[in-house]
Amino acid sequence: MQLNDEQQGAVRQWLADGASLSEVQKRLKESFGISMTYMDVRLLVLEIGAEVKDKPEPQPKTPPPEPEEERYDVPPDGEDGIDEEEAMPEDGAAPGEETRANVRLTLDQIVVPGAMVSGDVVFSDGVKARWLIDQMGRFGFEPTQPGYRPTDADMRAFQVQLRMELQRKGYM
């Protein structure tokens, strides 16, 4: 369908004002009584040399804060009262396994999906736990016994061993 110069001018003006193709389709019907399919409107716009303005992309909304996970504060280097030399692996320790104060830390060879690094820890009282650090740097800790909390000494040993192992593997 051919539009006259007045109708083509109106279409160009609507598009310049930011109308979408579907809005042009509606306005043609309302203003001029011309019923066109969406594809016909699209071809018409190409034919008269008009351009559809791109709508500005919506700004992404900031995600809501995630719920706080139970965390153990890790003091800055040198402030934890633990000599890192004491935390070095004992002779005969398996590769990737550190021991201190009867706390054993291992890193997974194959990382848990969604994690940057993951592994297991066995505390001095024999309770096992899975741990991970995800790509956002968040720490996850899941003991095999619900509600279990390691002693402060075990937790400090775990933190030192984890920091040393992460440094050794190039994560820090």
pLDDT digits (tens, 9 = 90+) for 85-136: 444 444 444 444 444 568 899 988 888 888 889 999 999 999 999 999 888 8
pLDDT at 82: 46
Residues 44 and 102 in one domain: no
pLDDT at 48: 81
pLDDT at 41: 85
CA dist., res. 10 & res. 26, Å (int): 13
pLDDT at 66: 63
- The residue with greater pLDDT, 122 or 80, is 122
Within a domain: residue 163? Answer: yes
pLDDT digits (tens, 9 = 90+) for 14-70: 888 888 888 888 988 898 888 888 888 888 888 888 777 766 667 777 766 665 554
Structural domain ending residue among the three candidates 31, 48, 65 = 48
Within a domain: residue 152? Answer: yes
Within a domain: residue 64? Answer: no
Q: For 104, what's the count of Cα atoms within 13 Å in the CB-facing half-sphere? A: 13
**Which residue's entry shows tokens 């984890």?**
162
- The whole domain housing 23 covers 5-48
The structural domain count of the chain equals 2
pLDDT at 122: 93
Within a domain: residue 102? Answer: yes
For residue 170, what pLDDT band results from cuts at 50, 70 and 90? confident
**Which residue's entry shows tokens 């909390």?**
149
| E strand map for 3-114 | 97-100, 103-107
Within a domain: residue 80? Answer: no
CA dist., res. 70 & res. 167, Å (int): 24
pLDDT at 65: 66
Within a domain: residue 143? Answer: yes
DSSP state letter for 156: H
Within a domain: residue 84? Answer: no
Write the single-letter amino acid at 171. Answer: Y
CA dist., res. 125 & res. 122, Å (int): 8
Within a domain: residue 106? Answer: yes
pLDDT at 101: 62
pLDDT at 80: 47
CA dist., res. 33 & res. 42, Å (int): 18
Write the single-letter amino acid at 43. Answer: L
Which residues have CB under 8 Å from 95's CB, separation 6+?
none
**Which residue's entry shows tokens 């001029």?**
32
List the structure tokens of 34. 């011309």
pLDDT at 119: 93
Which residues have CB under 8 Å from 121's CB, separation 6+?
103, 104, 105, 106, 128, 129, 131, 158
